[in-house]
Structure 1
Amino acid sequence: MEQILTYISNEIMVLLVAAMPLMELRGAIPIGVSLGITPLHATILGLFGSMIPVPFLLLLLKPIFIKMKKHPYWRKLVDWITKRTLRKTEKVHKYKSLGLLLFVAVPLPTTGVWTGAIAASLLNIPFKQAFTAIFMGNTIAALIIMTISHVAVNL
């Protein structure tokens, strides 16, 4: 029974790590594999977990940013996030959904679903297009990370 609870706890940990900004599935899959979860299972958990915040970010980010900009303290933070995101997502601006897909697909730090969702929101990419592009890009990134994790485990 204790083994089952540990396994479930490990799965929940992978889901939660995947939903966190910065870590996302790029950290969740290797963590899952290091905890004894198979690369495929860790990938599915990581992909699902990392997509949890996306609809909320796409729907709520712009209204929250508008409210935050009304206060001087929060305005600086919103301006910093906006400038940083737009600087990193020039290709997304040019190619819209395809650029967003490619941006999220590259498994490097700060190119994941959080930054992609922020960029989509700031660039007014419609929800359905943005969600689809982010999901597809995230799936590609997940497959790349899964392959690397699988190779690392079998060395």
Structure 2
Amino acid sequence: MRDLLITIFLSLAPFTELRGGIPYGLAAGLDFSLVFIVAVLANILIIFPIFFFLDNIHKYLTNWSFYNKVFNKFLVRAKKKVEKKIGTNWEFIALLLVVAIPFPGTGAYTGCLASWAFKLKRKKSLLAISLGVIVAGIITSLVSLGLISLI
């Protein structure tokens, strides 16, 4: 039970997410199906509190002029860069890929932040992030089981 709880905690945590939860659960000897389902569900369920946190903290921080200045400047520059590279019609695929690629700095937290910052449609973002988490779970599982070796 302890190893399952650690797997869940790692899958919920911002820097590890399921990229840490799945390898830990498998290394601890837990059943693959259980580890996969629990890690993916935990990583998907954390999306809702992340959006809630971003929505509410931002409202509070907008009372500070320094925050508004810095945030708006960053957002305008970032949006221009993203639109220049991927255009405006590829947001769903881009968001899915950002979440799906199991590298540091990618995942559900990053996907939520990007979706929120660029004011993407919430339902569409939830779907893209959830699908990205599932794909990341599959890739992480295959790597953890040794079926794919990273060069």
Deviation at 1:149, TM superposition (A): 1.1
Q: Describe the shift of the 1:120–1:39 C-alpha distance in structure 2 as closer, same or farther (beyond 3 A).
A: same
- Are 2:92 and 1:102 aligned? no
Say which is worse superposed, 90-99 or 28-37, in terms of deviation: 90-99
Name the TM-score, length of structure 2 as normaliser: 0.79
Corresponding residue for residue 123 of structure 1:
118
Deviation at 1:19, TM superposition (A): 0.6
Q: 1:14-40 CA deviation, whole Å, 9 max, x = no partner?
A: 111101101000111001111111333
For structure 2, list consecutive stretches of 5 or more residues without a partner in the other structure. none
- Are 2:22 and 1:32 aligned? no
Matches of 1:139 and 1:22, distance apart in 2: 17
Runs of 4+ in 1 over 3 A off after TM superposition: 71-79, 85-94
Corresponding residue for residue 60 of structure 2:
67
For structure 1, list consecutive stretches of 5 or more residues without a partner in the other structure. 1-7
Aligned residues: 145
Matched ranges for 1:6-155 at <5 A:
8-71=1-64, 91=86, 95-151=90-146
Matches of 1:92 and 1:104, distance apart in 2: 18
Deviation at 1:73, TM superposition (A): 8.3
| % identical aligned pairs | 23
Matches of 2:79 and 2:139, distance apart in 1: 25
Name the TM-score, length of structure 1 as normaliser: 0.77
Deviation at 1:46, TM superposition (A): 1.0
Q: Describe the shift of the 1:102–1:144 C-alpha distance in structure 2 as closer, same or farther (beyond 3 A).
A: same
Deviation at 1:97, TM superposition (A): 1.2
Matches of 1:136 and 1:113, distance apart in 2: 10
Over the residues paired in the alignment, what is the CA RMSD in angstroms? 3.1
Letter in 1 for 2:141: M
